[in-house]
Amino acid sequence: MRVLIIGATGLIGSAVCARLHASGHDVIAAVRSLGVPARRLPAAGYVTVDLRLAAKPDFWLPHLTNIDAVVNCAGVLQDSPRDSTQRVHVEGPNALFQACTRAGVRRVVHLSAIGLDRETPTEFSRTKLAGDGLLMALDLDWVILRPSVVVGRAAYGGSALFRGLAALPVLPIFPGTGLLQIVQLDDVTKTVELMIAPNAPSRFVLELAGPQRLGFEDVVQKYRRWLGWRPARTVKAPAAFANLAFMLGDLIGALGWRPPIRSTAKREILRGAIGDSSEWMRITGIEPLSFDAALAREPASVQERWFSRLYLLKPAILAVLSLFWIVTGILSLGPAREAGTELARAAGAGPLALPVIIAGGLVDLLVGGAIAIRRTARIGLCAALIVTIFYLICATLLVPSLWGDPLGSMLKIFPILMLNVVALAILDDR
């Protein structure tokens, strides 16, 4: 079969691509851009699609030629400058589904979220439910899959957060987290493969939930044991601390990043992620793997331990680098301007000393701002490397006496350079 997969670079979408490709299907991956995540996919072809802009059926029709089935794995947690729940969950999919009816593509498998029919506390769940309803109203061979929290060997979003928290020797417990029935990524992709078959049953909704009901703390502690560490001490986080964490997550999201801890996650966690998997098991014959059995099946490697330790360090590293450049720029333009001007004169800048210091301060501000914003972070980090090396060369040639500074001001540049290189190495989200 020739299958178009929407949201192909996501955790579920990429795993679906790999499974269907391994089974001999021709996979056409719909991706937002042909970057590194897309190039890693085992696909027969690629379609560049931004669901925020694909709100008309005519947009989709050229991409549905010779397509036998469509799998929609696209989803975003919360609105931001980079994402729109209304467009990604409702407008874009509705245009896709309408185009399927016009193009004669009958088989549509749509990934949603568990518990939407019982509670919709956020725009995420409300728009997901609206998208489900639009598909259910059409004369297509549709199947809607509503998985619980999905985890696998790969990690992204909430599944990555579990591992990051597992690396902490002291685990903060946020108040009011609901129960979770963790479902394995392999079981989800196996279900998708069964449901795209032309003779598969259709026009029903399946809840995909694992057999164990676990608390948030239980999941993190199980990951910690899997990673080979002793159980973490737990500390009940005050409500004010939890609210601050979610507010910081929203702020980071406004800069284009996708942290799993945001106000949407706060409200969604309260309702938990549990459901009834009996219909799923009856229709597919799949016996969902328990969380404990999945962890026991593949012992953790050093890569998992590295990832867990670095996951929460990554935002801290980026924040430190961004603030370093921004504060340096502010000092150059303000309190330290006179001292900087004297240093520039000592380097032979003469009457250009003040303009040089002002220009340097503005460059520092631009570099720091670029690092803080997701879309420009890589450019900012590369610029930081170039500017730092430029400063190092200029200082060495023009003011070599700085190397004799008893506080080691020049030597301290090298740890900054290495931290910058580490940030570039771990910048990718998936």
* Per-position pLDDT tens, the chain of length 430: 999 999 999 999 999 999 999 999 999 999 888 777 778 888 889 999 888 889 999 999 999 999 999 999 999 999 988 899 999 999 999 999 999 999 999 999 999 999 999 999 999 999 999 999 999 999 999 999 999 999 999 999 888 999 999 999 999 988 778 899 999 999 999 999 999 999 999 999 999 999 999 999 999 999 999 999 999 999 998 888 888 999 999 999 999 999 999 999 988 888 899 999 999 999 999 999 999 999 999 999 999 999 999 999 999 999 999 999 999 999 999 999 998 898 889 888 888 889 999 999 999 999 999 999 999 999 999 999 999 999 999 989 988 988 888 888 889 999 999 999 999 999 998 7
Instruction: Mark whether 349 and 274 lie in a shared domain.
Output: no
Query: What secondary structure does DSSP assign to 35-87, as a single string?
Result: SHHHHTS--SEEEE--TTT--SHHHHGGGGTT--EEEE----SS--SS--HHI
The β-bridge relationship of strands 69-72 and 26-31 is: unpaired
Q: Does some domain include residue 430? A: no
Distance CA 48, CA 70 (A): 15
- Backbone conformation region of residue 345, classed left if phi is above 0, alpha if psi is from -120 to 50, else beta: alpha
CA distance 2 to 411: 58
256: its two tokens: 């284009």
Phi, psi at 216, each rounded to 5°: -55, -45
> Do 66 and 186 share a domain, yes or no?
yes
Same domain (yes/no): 118, 12: yes
> Which range marks the domain in which residue 394 is found?
316-425
Inside any domain, residue 378: yes
Are residues 41 and 131 both part of a single domain?
yes
The pLDDT of residue 275 is: 96
119 phi/psi in degrees, rounded to 5? -160, 135
How many Cα atoms within 13 Å fall on the side-chain side of residue 13? 28
* Number of independent structural domains in the chain: 2
Same domain, 260 and 388: no
- Asked whether residue 320 is assigned to any structural domain, the reply reads yes
Same domain, yes or no, for 283 and 328?
no
Q: Which helix (H) or strand (E) holds 171?
A: strand 170-173
- Residues across the chain: 430
d(CA 231, CA 125): 34
345 shares its domain with 381? yes
Report yes or no: 141 and 160 within 8 Å, Cβ to Cβ: no
Decide which of 263, 293, 311 is a domain's last residue: 311
Report angle CA 360, 362, 364 to the nearest 5 degrees.
70
Give residue 81's pLDDT.
86
Report the chain's C-alpha Rg in angstroms. Answer: 25
Instruction: Write down the pLDDT at residue 53.
Output: 86
Are 88 and 67 found together in one domain? Answer: yes
Of the residues 277, 311, 345, which one is the last residue of a structural domain?
311
Spatial contact of 116 and 127, defined as CB atoms under 8 Å apart:
no
- Structure-block tokens of residue 257: 């990043």
- CATH classification of the domain holding 193: 3.40.50.720
**How far is the C-alpha of 256 from the C-alpha of 110, rounded, in Å?**
26
Question: Looking at the domain assignment, is residue 221 inside a domain?
Answer: yes
DSSP three-state, residue 425: helix
Give yes or no: residues 382 and 257 share one domain: no
Place of tokens 């998208």: 131
pLDDT digits (tens, 9 = 90+) for 333-388: 999 999 889 888 988 888 888 999 999 999 999 999 999 999 999 999 999 999 99
Same domain, 328 and 232: no
Identify whether 223 is part of a domain.
Answer: yes
Residue 96 CB: number of other CB atoms within 10 A? 29
Residues 152 and 227 grouped into a single domain: yes
Residue at a domain's end among 295, 311, 327: 311
Q: Are 283 and 379 part of one and the same domain?
A: no
CA–CA distance, 278 with 66 (Å, rounded to integer): 35
Question: Which residues, 6 or more positions from 411, have their beta carbon under 8 angstroms from its beta carbon?
Answer: none
